[in-house]
């Protein structure tokens, strides 16, 4: 009985130590705090942040939050980000018309420069020239049309040495815009991919307050499936899904983070 008691106690201690360590590593301990403990934690964090060695030349707790969090809160974000994809199944390829419209807001008092990237890694399509695989049909910043200008700067690299798989064509360009308070971007891109390239991904590059994707497939012999990733993938209960006759709409009516998005695939 003595050995059994000691063994049981030892196992419980190890289990407690493992669970406690796991809780601390995953920050789950915050969920277990009482209201008074939360207030005490808040007071300690404030002490570390504001009242202890606020030397801006040192790599301390205060400056970590000043750099990492303040930069995120003061940088530009998407007030809304709308994407609509119209997908057409052709005889030997799939064509997509991608319409994007998003509003960038600058919360700081300083004018900033935002880089709008364009590009993709593409597969070859029989009887289709490389220049037709990715085309920018519209690019408007507020009320100024830069469609012609951006197309003059687009760069297509065939047999890209960085890619050893089928995605051997790299399309790339960008456009820098200056944002004082806010700016609206409106663009249309057309792509052509082979019939076996059945996935479409859409992700954001900045924090976003209101995100939505509409995917329309004009072929009843195919069906759609999708999944979210990043922060969105961990909060599926807050994702809004609206089925449509020939497609679906996915939305997230709360803040999401850079790198979040969805992947949509089609299956015959």
DSSP string, 28-90: GGGGG--HHHHHHHHHHHHHHHHSS---TTS-SHHHHHHHHHHHHHHS-EEEEEEEEEEEEE-
**What pLDDT shows up at residue 25?**
45
Average pLDDT value for residue range 19-24: 45
Task: Read off the pTM.
Answer: 0.72
Lowest mean pLDDT among 12-16, 176-180, 243-247: 12-16
Higher pLDDT, 181 or 36: 181
Task: Find the helix packing angle between 61-74 and 35-50, rounded to 10°.
Answer: 100
Q: What is the pLDDT of residues 198-252, one digit of tens each?
A: 999 999 999 899 999 999 998 889 999 999 988 788 888 889 999 888 899 999 9
Tell me the β-bridge partners of 176: 115
Residue ranges of the domains in the chain? 5-53, 77-267
Arch. (CATH architecture) of 77-267: Sandwich (2.60)
What tokens appear for 203 in the block?
Answer: 């992700």
Q: What percent of the chain has pLDDT over 70?
A: 77
CB-based contact 95:226 (threshold 8 Å): no
User: What residue ranges in 70-197 does DSSP mark as E strands?
Assistant: 77-89, 94-105, 112-122, 134-141, 144-145, 155-157, 169-179, 182-193
**What pLDDT shows up at residue 18?**
45
Q: What is the mean pLDDT of the chain?
A: 82
Q: What is the C-alpha to C-alpha distance for residues 28 and 131, in angstroms, rounded to an integer? A: 51
Does residue 15 have a pLDDT over 70? Answer: no
**What pLDDT shows up at residue 22?**
46
What tokens appear for 184 in the block?
Answer: 């609206």
**What pLDDT shows up at residue 236?**
83
């Amino acid at each position: 009985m003595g050995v059994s008691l000691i063994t049981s106690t030892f196992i419980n201690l190890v289990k407690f130590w493992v669970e406690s360590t796991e809780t601390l590593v995953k920050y789950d301990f915050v969920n277990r705090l009482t209201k008074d403990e939360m207030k005490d934690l808040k007071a300690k964090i404030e002490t570390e942040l504001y009242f202890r060695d606020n030397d801006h030349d040192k790599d301390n707790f205060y400056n970590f939050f000043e750099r990492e969090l303040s930069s995120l809160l003061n940088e530009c974000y998407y007030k809304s980000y709308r994407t609509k994809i119209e997908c057409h199944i052709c005889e030997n390829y799939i064509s997509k018309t991608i319409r994007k419209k998003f509003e960038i807001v600058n919360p700081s008092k300083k004018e900033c420069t935002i880089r709008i990237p364009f590009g993709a890694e593409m597969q070859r399509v029989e009887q289709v020239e490389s220049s037709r695989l990715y085309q920018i049909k519209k690019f408007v910043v507020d009320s100024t049309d830069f469609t012609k200008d951006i197309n003059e700067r687009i760069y297509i690299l065939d047999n890209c040495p960085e890619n050893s798989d089928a995605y051997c064509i790299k399309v790339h360009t960008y456009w820098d815009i200056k944002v004082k308070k806010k700016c609206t971007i409106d663009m249309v891109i057309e792509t052509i991919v082979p019939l076996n390239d059945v996935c479409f991904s859409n992700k954001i590059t900045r924090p976003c307050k209101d995100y939505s994707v509409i995917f329309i497939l004009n072929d009843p012999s195919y069906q759609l499936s999708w999944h979210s990733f990043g922060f969105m993938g961990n909060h599926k209960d807050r994702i809004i899904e609206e089925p449509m006759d020939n497609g679906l709409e996915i939305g997230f009516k709360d803040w999401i983070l850079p790198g979040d998005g969805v992947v949509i695939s089609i299956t015959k």
